[in-house]
Structures are given as structure tokens and as C-alpha cells.
Structure 1
Amino acid sequence: MTILSTQDILDAGLDDWRKLAQALHARFLTRDFATGLALVSAIGGLAEDAGHHPDVTLTYPHVDVKLLSHDVSGVTERDVDLARRISAIAAEQGISADPAAPAVVELALDTADVAAVAPFWAALLTGDAGAADGDDIEDPGGRVPLLWFQHTDAHETPRQRFHLDVWVPHDVAEERIAAAVAAGGTVVDDDAAPSFTVLADAEGNRACVCTILER
């Protein structure tokens, strides 16, 4: 299977879905548990028919769905096809989506020596020191956010080493940045926008608002 480009996904017309980091995400507003359970059951049937299984989270007011072709670590046509079928089933059941709601938080750690620190963080986060994969530590059980290592020069001066990457839908990023600024933050660096924008709180602690655009 071929990984689709960002433009391929934007052109697919998936109004209910947004790509964040690697996967497609959607939130369906079921508003009660029974309706959500019925939708999950219908999604399960679609997944079995397609032989392709999404991650589904059922809560009282909504159902969150994540689609990714794990064999190629990206979004492919089979994800797009299943996304369309899930949206159609939701529409048939009178369930609307909130495409602005999905978000993904990743942790980034500056380090000059990935090999020295990766086993510690892999063991701490997942219980398995061998869970590091290149510059990433990803919990296969989905219990904790992905941690990735940002390569940097060795340094002795105290500085912020961790920052959050907050992935949001590309069409709500400006609104999210504006809200953070209105709440006391500042824009530190927007040279790479809309791919990512670096923000800081009143004490200088930084975070990035990330989208899939221009990557």
C-alpha cells in the first residue's frame, strides 16, 4: 500500500476526519452511551468486512476513531475508504462529527545522546527498555503519548529540555494559537508555520502547535 500525501488526504473530501501526526482522526457526537455503543458495533462490522481495524474509543458523549495502516506507518487508500464508510454509517444513524475536536499530544526531549537516555525513557513509559524505535518511543498499548528525541548539541547550561507537540486539525490551528496568546502566551517562532508554531507561557516554557501542512 502507498502512503498518501497530505494533499491526497485533503483532496479526499473527508469532512468528518482530520489527519494529525500519522493517522486520521474523527470524533462522532453520540451524546449518550447506547447510541455510542450502536455506532461502535456498526464500525466493528465494517472493519471486519474490510479486514482493516481502527482504534475506537467509546465514552459517554462521543466516539473517537483513529485510522492508520500500521504495516506502512501511514494513511493509505484503505484508511480513506474505511473513513468514508464510517462517516456514512454515522450519518445514517443521525450522528454528526466534530472535526475540530481531535488532538494528539507528543512529548519531545532535546538530547545529544539518544542511545544513553532512550532505554530509560522506554522502560519508564512502557515497561520495556527495548521499546525505543530510532528516535521514537511509542507505547503499543496506547497508554502514554509518543516520546521523540530531538537531536541537539551537548550543553551544560540549564535550559528547557522537554516540550509538548500539540497536534490539532490544520483548520483550527490559528484559533488555538490565538487562544493561547490571549491566555498569556507569546509566539516565539512562526517561521515554520503552518507546519508548526512555537509558543511560550509567561515563564518561557515552550510548546509547539503542529499541523500536517507543508511537511
Structure 2
Amino acid sequence: MTALGVQDVLAAIAGRLPEWRKLAQPLAARFAGADAVRGAEFVAAVTREAAAAGYTIPDIRLEPGYVNVTLYTVHPDSGRRQVTDQELERARAISALAVEHGLRAVPDEVTQIELVLDAPSVAVSGPFWAALLTGDPGNTPVLDTVFDPTNRVPSTWFQHTQAHPAPRQRWHIDLWLAPEAAQGRIAAALDCGGTVFDDSHAPSYTVLADPDGNRVCVCTALGRV
């Protein structure tokens, strides 16, 4: 299946998938109103629907009051996680199942965290972090990112930088949010003593600093290709 560009995914969301949002790699949705039984029945229905369609079981997380679903296809050669037409089809089906089970979408609440490490060479640093975070040195970086195949831990993205002497900030978090939620989350952080370090790339990403100067990027799919 051919990977869709970010703008194609955003157009699909705007046109027929209002319950879903594009995050760093996946298409994501969060459904509220799920007590334990209703949530479990919805998860079972989603799993059955995916299996009947010949689709890999989606990444589903059942938690008190909510069900979170992320959809992506793993490219068979590169290992890259991407959104294709298959994800759009499954998203429509899952949204319909949510209605049947009395759940409501809360798309402004979807969230994804990526760990980001400044590194001169992903080939040098990547295997170490793959072995440490996933327990398997064979989970070598896909392009510039280490993924845990079972999603126990956030993905780790290696941001290329020139070699430099320590110390300087090498790690930061990329916080991916629904576009409509980003400004409110930024405002809340600023009210708690944070500052805007760089907003020249907003709404794609805005760099904030905490009161001690530690940085974090608040990211959305807007303005990306």
C-alpha cells in the first residue's frame, strides 16, 4: 500500500473522519464513555472487524472510561510506520462501531509522545537505545527512529546534530497533539512558569522551555507534507 502524505490524511480527516487525528506516524482516535464491559465489547468488535478485513489488529488501549486506537501500516521493507488507504477504511469502520457501542469521540484529547535525542550518527547511537528500550538489539532504527514493535515505550527519534562536547541539552520530548488542543496546552504550560523558546515554525511545532530552561516541542500535523 502507498503511504499517504500528511496533507492527504488531513484532507480525509476534514472530509469524512472528524473523529480522528494525524499524529507523528499514526492515525489516532480516543473514544469516551466506556465502562469496563462496554469498552471491552467495543475492543472485541474492532478486533473482529479488522480480522475480517484481513487487517493487522490495531493498536488498542482500554483504560477506565476510554478506548484509544492508533492505526498504521508497517512498510514490509523499510519498517516505516505510515498511513495508507487501509487506515482510512479501518478508521471509518471503527468510528461506526463506536457509535453502535454508545461511545463518543474526543479527538482533541489524542496524544503521542516521542523521545528525541540529538545525535551525530543514528547508526552509532541507535542500536544502544534499541537494545535498552526494547530489549532487542535487532530492533535497529527505522530511518531515524527506534520503534518498540509492541509499543510498550514511546518511539525514540534521532535528530541529527553536529558532534559537540558535553554538556548541553541532548534529550527533549516531542508532544504530539490534535491541532485544536495545542494552543490551550501551550497556554497552560506558560501559566505554570514556562516560556516560548521558538514559535517560528508554529503550528507545525512550538518550542517551550520550563522554568529551568529544559525544552519541549509541542507538535501538530499542520504545516507538514
TM class by smaller structure: over 0.9
Q: Which amino acid aligns with 2:9?
A: I
Please state if 1:182 is matched with 2:191. Answer: yes
Greater shift in the superposed pair: 98-107 or 170-179: 170-179
Shift of 1:138: 1.1
1:77-88 aligned at under 5 Å gives the runs: 77-88=85-96
Q: Which amino acid aligns with 2:171?
A: F
What TM-score does the superposition give when structure 2 sets the normalisation length?
A: 0.90
Shift of 1:101: 1.2
Please state if 1:100 is matched with 2:108. Answer: yes
Q: Which amino acid aligns with 1:100?
A: D
Residue 65 of structure 2 aligns to a residue in which SS? coil
What CA RMSD, in Å, does the superposition of the two structures yield over aligned residues? 1.5
Please state if 1:54 is matched with 2:58. Answer: yes
Q: Which amino acid aligns with 1:2?
A: T
| Preserved CA contact (<8 Å) 2:109 2:181 | no
- Paired with 2:98 and 2:121, the residues of 1 have a C-alpha distance of 47
Shift of 1:80: 0.8
- Paired with 2:136 and 2:41, the residues of 1 have a C-alpha distance of 36
- Paired with 2:85 and 2:123, the residues of 1 have a C-alpha distance of 36
Match of 2:160 among 151, 156, 162: 151
Residue 15 of structure 1 aligns to a residue in which SS? coil
- Paired with 2:9 and 2:162, the residues of 1 have a C-alpha distance of 36
Match of 2:73 among 60, 66, 69: 69
Residue 166 of structure 1 aligns to a residue in which SS? strand
What TM-score does the superposition give when structure 1 sets the normalisation length?
A: 0.94
Shift of 1:135: 2.0
Shift of 1:149: 1.2
- Paired with 2:125 and 2:101, the residues of 1 have a C-alpha distance of 49
| Preserved CA contact (<8 Å) 2:34 2:67 | no
Structure 1 unpaired stretches of 5+: none
Please state if 1:132 is matched with 2:136. Answer: no
Could you give the per-residue CA deviations for residues 105-139 of structure 1, whole angstroms, max 9, x where no partner exists?
01111122333322221211112223222322111
Q: Which amino acid aligns with 1:101?
A: E
Shift of 1:141: 1.7
- Paired with 1:135 and 1:15, the residues of 2 have a C-alpha distance of 30
- Paired with 2:121 and 2:102, the residues of 1 have a C-alpha distance of 52
Shift of 1:175: 1.3
- Assess, with a 3 A threshold, how the Cα gap between structure 1 residues 118 and 4 changes in structure 2: closer, same or farther: closer
Please state if 1:207 is matched with 2:216. Answer: yes
Shift of 1:157: 4.6
Structure 1 counterpart of 2:127 = 119
Structure 2 unpaired stretches of 5+: none
Q: Which amino acid aligns with 2:40?
A: L
| Preserved CA contact (<8 Å) 2:139 2:148 | yes
Residue 18 of structure 2 aligns to a residue in which SS? coil
